[in-house]
Chains A and B, each alone.
Chain A
Amino acid sequence: MRAIFFLLLAACDGAPAPAPTTPSNGLAPSALGVSATVTGNGASVLVDVSITSGAIAVKLSPGDALVASAADAPALGLGEYKPGKYTVLLPTRSQTVTLAFLRDGKAIVSNDIALPTPFAIAAPAMPSRASSIALAWEAGKSSETLALAVGAPCLATTNTMRTPDPVGTGFTLQAADFIPYSGACKLNIELRRTDGRMLPGFSNSAAQVVQFRTLELVTQP
C-alpha cells in the first residue's frame, strides 16, 4: 500500500526532467560547440562558457577541464552552474584572457581572447542639468559597438539607452534630456563596449567580448 502511494506521488510529481547531457570524454574538441562571453571591468574578467555537441549540452568528464588565465592571474578552472554552462571570475587587469581546454592535464585547445579597447568614463564634477553634460572616454575601433545606459529619476526616460559612435571619444547629454527636478540627482551610468572573437580548435565557436565601466555622477539643477 505504501509502495503504491509513493508510486502515485512520483507519477504526479510536476518537477521537470533534468536537461539531457552528453559526457565530454568521448568527444574531440573539434566536435565541441563552444560559445563564450568574456566581460571585463578593469579589475576582473568574468568568463562564461556554454558547451554543446549538436543540440545537447556537454558535461565535462573527469579528466576534462576548462581553465582561464591571464598574464597577471594563474589558471582558474571554470565551474558548472547549469548543464553545459561553466563560469569563472578571474581577478586580472590584463586585456587578454587565455581560455584553454585541458584533457588529462594537457591543454589541447588554447585561445588568447582579447577584450575590446579599455576605457575609463570621465565627467565634469557636479555638473548642472541646465547645460549639456559631456561624458568622455577613450576611442575604440570600428568593429566595436558601444551601448550607453543612464538611469536617474531626473531623466525624461528614467532608464535611457544611447548608442554612441564606436570610434568617438564621448557622448553629451542634453539639457532637454532632463525633466524639471529639484535638488541633486545621481546619474547611474554604464558603458559597454562589445566585439566578437573566433575560438579556433572548437566547432563553429565564438566569443563575445565586453568591456564595461560604471560611473555614478551627481548632478545639480
Chain B
Amino acid sequence: MKRALFFLFLAACSDHKPTLSPDVSTRDISIAVNASDHEVVATLTGPGGYVVLLPPDHLSFASGSMEWPAVHVANTYVADIGNTSGLVSLRLSRTSDESVEQAFVIPPPFSVKAPALMSRGAGMTFTWDGQISNAKVAFGLRGACIKGLDRALGIDTGTYALNPGELESSGMIETTCDVTLTITRTYSGAEPSASTLAGFSASFVNKASITFTSSP
C-alpha cells in the first residue's frame, strides 16, 4: 500500500513514470554525478528511465570520516558537502540487491592571478592554480572597452599569455575599463573501480575569475 501511494505520488509529480528501485537491479543502474558550489547532484537511470530509491534503499556521499545523505529532489539526489574536494565516494546502499561504492575526485576550488593594471598594447600573462591533468580549460575575457575573447585551451598549464594587441579594443576610441578574466575548468572525475553499476560518470565545472584594469 505504502509502495503504491509512493508510486502514485511520484507519477502525479512527474511527466514520465520513474522506476522504483526494487524493480531494477543495481547492475542495470547508471549514475551520473556533477557538482556546483557546495552541492553534489546524482542522477540515477535504469532501462525504464529515472530510478527513484524506495526506502530503505538510499544514496550518500562520503569523504574520510564524513558522510552526507543525498536527498531526492525532482529526478535527482542532492547532497550539500560544503567545501569538500578530493577523493569522494558515492554509496548506493540497498537491501534487496547489491550495494555499491564508486569513488570520484572533486577538483578543488582555484584562484586566478593577474596584475592590477595591464596595457592591451603590451603582452599580458595570467596564472591560476589547482591544475588537474585531463581537465579542459576555457579562457574568457569580458569588458566594456574590449572585444570579448574566448579561447579553449588544449592543456591546463596554469598559465596563458596574450600577445601585444591580441586583446582588441571595442569602439572607435580606445579607452580604459575593468576587464574580467574567467577560467572555467571542466573535469571528468570517475576513478577506476570494480563497481557493478551499469555505468558511472562524474563531471565537474569549476570557475574562477579576476578583474583587472585594462588600458589601450
A residues neighboring B (CB under 8 Å) = 132, 154-157, 162-166, 168, 171-172, 174-180
A171, B163: Cβ atoms closer than 8 Å:
yes
The reply to whether B165 and A164 contact each other, CB–CB distance below 8 Å, is: yes
Q: Give 1 or 0 for each of B134-175: 1 = CB within 8 Å of chain A CB.
A: 000100000000000001111111011101111010000000
A163/B166 contact (C-beta < 8 A), A174-B160, A174-B161, A176-B159 known: yes
Interface centre among B121, B154, B168 (most CB of A within 10 A): B154
Q: Could you tell me if A166 and B165 are in contact, using CB atoms closer than 8 angstroms?
A: yes
Interfacial chain A residues near B156, Cβ < 8 Å:
176
Contacts A164-B165, A164-B166; A157 near B152 (Cβ below 8 A): yes
The chain A residue with its CB closest to the CB of B156 is A176
Q: Chain B residues near A168: list those with CB within 8 A.
A: 163-165
Complex CA gap A79/B161 in Å reads 47
The residues of B that contact A179 with a CB separation of less than 8 Å are: 154-155
Interchain CB contact (< 8 A) of B157 among A155, A157, A175: A175
A161 CB to closest chain B CB (Å) equals 11
Closest Cβ of chain A: how far from B99's Cβ, in Å? 37
Expressed in whole angstroms, the Cα–Cα distance for A172 and B155 within the complex equals 16
Q: What are 7 A-to-B residue pairs whose CB atoms are below 8 Å?
A: A154-B154, A156-B152, A164-B163, A168-B165, A172-B163, A174-B153, A176-B159
Closest chain B residue to A181, Cβ basis: B154
| Residues of chain A with a CB closer than 8 A to B163's CB | 162, 164-165, 168, 171-172
Of B154, B160, B161, B165, which contacts A178 at CB under 8 A? Answer: B154
- Given A174-B160, A176-B160, A180-B155: 16 more A-B contacts, CB < 8 Å: A132-B161, A156-B151, A156-B153, A157-B151, A162-B166, A163-B165, A163-B166, A164-B165, A165-B121, A168-B165, A171-B166, A174-B157, A176-B153, A176-B156, A179-B154, A179-B155
- Tell me which residues across on chain B come within 8 A of A132, comparing CB atoms: 161
Top 9 nearest A-B pairs (CB, nearest first) are: A165-B165, A156-B154, A179-B154, A176-B153, A178-B154, A165-B164, A176-B157, A156-B152, A171-B163
B124 to chain A: closest CB distance in Å?
A: 12
Residues of B whose CB lies within 8 Å of any CB of A are 121, 137, 151-157, 159-161, 163-166, 168
CB neighbours (8 Å) of A154 from chain B are 154
Q: Which of B121, B152, B160, B168 contacts A163 (CB 8 A)?
A: B168
Provide the residues of chain B in CB contact with A157, threshold 8 Å. 151-152
**Separation of A177 and B155 alpha carbons in the complex (Å):** 7
The answer for the CA separation of A168 and B164 in the assembled complex, in Å, is 8
Q: How far is the CA of A174 from the CA of B137 in the complex (A)?
A: 14
B165 contacts across to A, CB distance below 8 A? 163-166, 168
- Would you give the shortest CB distance from A19 to chain B, in whole angstroms? 37
Question: How distant is the Cα of A155 from the Cα of B165 in the complex, in angstroms?
Answer: 22
A166 to B121, CA, bound (A): 11
The complex places the Cα of A171 from the Cα of B166 at a distance, in Å, of 9
Contacts of B152 in A (CB 8 A): 156-157
What separation, in Å, do the CA atoms of A24 and B161 have in the docked complex? 55
Residue on A with the closest CB to B168? A163
CB nearest to A132 among chain B residues: B161
Residues of A within 8 A of B121 (CB): 165
Nearest-Cβ distance from residue B167 to partner chain A, whole angstroms? 10
In Å, the complex CA distance between A97 and B67 comes to 77
A162 to B168, CA, bound (A): 11
Q: Report whether A177 and B164 are in contact in the complex, using a CB–CB cutoff of 8 Å.
A: no
Cβ–Cβ < 8 Å partners of A175 in chain B? 155, 157
Please, how many angstroms separate the alpha-carbon atoms of A177 and B162 in the complex?
Answer: 11
Residues of A near B154 (CB, < 8 A) are 154-156, 176-180
Max count, chain A CB within 10 A of own CB: residue among B156, B161, B164: B164
Residue of B153, B155, B161 contacting most chain A CB atoms (<10 Å): B155
